[in-house]
Amino acid sequence: MSVKVSMKVNGKAVSGEVEERTLLVTFIREQLRLTGTHVGCDTAQCGACTVSMNGAAVKSCSMLAMQAEGADVMTIEGVAAADGTLHPMQAAFKEHHGLQCGFCTPGMVMNAIDFAKKHPSASEQDVRDALEGNLCRCTGYHNIVKAIMAGSKAMAGAK
Partner 1 sequence: MSASLIGARVQRKEDYRFLTGAGQYTDDVTLPHQSYAAFVRSPHAHATIKSIKIDKAKKAPGVLAVYTGEDVAGAKLGGLPCGWLITDVNGQPMKEPPHPVLAHGKVRYVGDHVAVVVAETQEQARDAAEMVEVSYDVLPAVVDASQATKKGAPVLHDIAPDNTCYVWALGDKAAVDAAFAKAAHVTKLEFINNRLIPNAIEPRAANGHYSRADDSYTLYVANQNPHVERLLMTAFVMGLPEHKVRVVAPDVGGGFGSKIYLYAEDVVVTWASRQIGRPVKWTADRSESFVSDAHGRDHHTIAEMAMDKDGKFIGMRVHTTANIGAYLSTFASCVPTILYATLLAGQYTTPLIFCQVTAVFTNTAPVDAYRGAGRPEATYVVERLVETAAREMKLDPAEIRRRNFIRQFPYQTPVALQYDTGNYEATLDAAMKMADVAGFAKRKEEAAKRGKLRGLGYAAYIEACGIAPSAVAGSLGARAGLFEAGEIRVHPTGSVTVFTGSHSHGQGHETTFAQVVADRLGMAVENVDIVHGDTSKILFGMGTYGSRSIAVGGTAIVKALDKIIDKGKKIAAHLMEASEGDVEYDRGVFKVAGTDKQKAFGEIAFAAYVPHNYPHDKLEPGLNENAFYDPSNFTFPAGSYVCEVEIDPDTGQTRIVNFTAVDDFGKIINPMIVEGQVHGGLTQGIGQALTEACHYDSATGQLITGSFTDYCIPRADDVPSYKVDTRETPCTHNPLGVKGCGEAGAIGAPAAVMNAITDALWSMGIKDVPMPATAQTVWKAIQSASKKAA
Query: Which residue in 50, 52, 75, 152 binds partner 1 (CB under 8 A)?
Result: 75
Burial of 149 (0-12, 13-18, 19+ CB in 10 A): buried
Contacting partner 1 within 32-61 (CB under 8 A): 33-43, 45-46, 48
Q: CB of 28: closest distance to partner 1 in angstroms?
A: 10
Contacting partner 1 within 115-134 (CB under 8 A): 124-125, 127-129, 131-132, 134
DSSP result, 99-154: -SS-SSHHHHHHHHHHHHHH-TT--HHHHHHHGGG---SSSTTHHHHHHHHHHHHH
**Minimal CA–CA distance to 104: which of 131, 126, 79?**
131
88 touches partner 1 (CB under 8 A) = no
142 touches partner 1 (CB under 8 A) = yes
Beta bridge partners of 15: 6
Q: Which residues bind partner 1 (CB under 8 A)?
A: 19, 21, 29-30, 33-43, 45-46, 48, 75-77, 79-80, 84, 86, 90, 93-95, 97, 99-106, 109, 124-125, 127-129, 131-132, 134-145
